[in-house]
Amino acid sequence: MASNDDQPTPESFAHTIDLTTADSKITAVSVYTNRAEVTRCFRIQLGPGQNHVKVRRLPNALQDDSVRFDLNGDT
C-alpha cells in the first residue's frame, strides 16, 4: 500500500478545476430508507497532463466512500 507521501499534491498538477454543486445538473435521484443517491453531471474542460478537480458545497452528511467519477469524451 502506498503512503500519502507518494500521492501527487495539488501544486504538482498542471491544471486545477474548482467546481461547486451549482455548476452541475442533477440527472437522477433515488431515495432509500436510510439514504439518497444523487447523480450530478458536470461539463468541464480538462487541460493536457494531470488535472486536479475540486468539487465544493457537497452535503455534510456525504459518505466518504460514496463519491464516484465517470469521465466521457476525448482524452
Contacts of 67 (CB under 8 A, 6+ apart): 58
Q: Does residue 24 contact residue 60 with C-beta atoms inside 8 Å?
A: no
Cell 466512500 found at: 65
Distance CA 35, CA 13 (A): 34
Q: Is the pTM of this model over 0.85?
A: no
Confidence of residue 64 (pLDDT cuts 50, 70, 90): confident
Residue 53 lies in a domain: yes
Residue-wise pLDDT tens digits, 33-57: 988 899 999 988 888 888 888 888 8
Q: Does residue 63 contact residue 36 with C-beta atoms inside 8 Å?
A: no
Residue 38 lies in a domain: yes
Grid cell of 67 as nine digits: 463519491
What is the residue range of 33's domain? 23-58
Residue 46 lies in a domain: yes
Grid cell of 55 as nine digits: 468539487
Residue 66 lies in a domain: no
Tally of domains in the chain: 1
